[in-house]
Structures are given as structure tokens and as C-alpha cells.
Structure 1
Amino acid sequence: MWTFILAGVNTLLGFVFRSLVVKFVVFFALWFITTEFVSVLQQVGILPTSASLNASLSGLSATTWYFLDLFAVSQGLPIIISAMVSRFIIRRLPVIG
């Protein structure tokens, strides 16, 4: 009786340590590398800051701003930039990209 229970516990612990813990460590390492890579890109100056985007868009005329606001570019531009940065980072990961 006890041998069956012990065998079941041994199988369960083997599953946990072989698959779940290893997957957690691997995905945590990928997440950590990705977040640190973003901070390095921000420090180097490759990623645009809000001040640089504001400076580049400040020279537009009022009619141009009307059409940009009409098409909601002020909401869409940060989404597009973050998607492009995410795509760039994901392609640099050796396991995923």
C-alpha cells in the first residue's frame, strides 16, 4: 500500500522538478533578458523618448494636426512604436526568434 503512495509521490515530484521548475527558470530568464535589453536600449538612446517625439511633432501645422487627430495618430503612434520594439526584441531571443 505504502509503496504505491510513495511511487505516486515520486512520480509527481519528478514531473514537477523535471518540467515545471525547468520551464519556469527558462521563461524567467527570457523575460529577464528581454526587460534588461529594453533598459539598455533606453540608456543608449536607440529607443525614442517622449521628449524626442514631442520635439519632432511640434513643427507640424494646425491643419496637419487636425487630420492627425481625426485619424487618432496620437493614440496609434505609441502603440505602433511599442509593437515594433517588441518585435525587434522577440526576434533577438535565440529560443523564440
Structure 2
Amino acid sequence: MLLLVPFFDTLKHWFREMLFWLFDLLMSVLEQIPAPEWFDDVGGSLAGITPEVAYFVGPMQIEYGISIILSAYLIRFIIRRIPIIG
């Protein structure tokens, strides 16, 4: 039984290294996908807000929240296109 412990530790190490390698490969593929043009202009669309509304937009960081939501929808769209996962 003691002889199997190093074997399973090695297998666990190889499996972990393989997962890290696959994750790095996936991230390098996703980094090559260009972002749409409208995605970069989300902050510019909030420039026409009146000062009364801007008083609440500043502390709540609406611009930051909208960019997070849009990026989450984009990631969900990309993941659904992967045949094994989606």
C-alpha cells in the first residue's frame, strides 16, 4: 500500500499540470478573439448623463458594472459555442 502513494501523487501532479496547460491553451485562444467595436465604446455612451443623474452614477460605479455585465455576456456566448461545454 505504501508503494502506491508515490504513484498516485505523481498521477495527481500530472493531472494538475495537464489542467494548467489546457487552461493556458484556452486562455491564449480566447485572447486572440478581438472584442467588438461597440464593446469598447460602452463608457462613451454614458457621457451624456445629466449632473443630477451623475451624482448617483459616480458612487455606484454604473460604468464599471455595465462593462462587467457585458463582458460576462460575451464570455457566456463564447463558452456556449464550445461543443463539449456548451
TM-score, length of structure 1 as denominator length? 0.54
Mapped partners of 1:46, 1:78: distance in 2: 13
1:76 and 2:75 equivalent?
no
Gaps of 5+ in 2: none
Three-state SS of the structure 1 residue aligned to 2:36 is coil
Percent of matched pairs sharing the same residue: 26
Bigger relative contact order, structure 1 or 2, given CA contacts below 8 A and separation 6+? 1
Higher gyration radius (CA): 1
Q: How does 1:9-28 map to 2 (within 5 A)?
A: 9=3, 11-25=4-18, 27-28=19-20
Aligned to 2:45: 56
Q: Per-residue displacement from partner, 1:7-64 (whole Å, max 9, x unpaired)?
A: 513x022212334412430x223321332233212xx343723xx2233333444455
Deviant stretches of 4+, over 6 Å? none
Three-state SS of the structure 2 residue aligned to 1:8 is coil
Three-state SS of the structure 1 residue aligned to 2:32 is helix
Assess, with a 3 A threshold, how the Cα gap between structure 1 residues 38 and 63 changes in structure 2: closer, same or farther: farther
Q: Is the 8 A contact 1:90 1:96 kept in 2?
A: yes
Mapped partners of 1:81, 1:68: distance in 2: 17
RMSD of equivalent CA atoms: 3.2
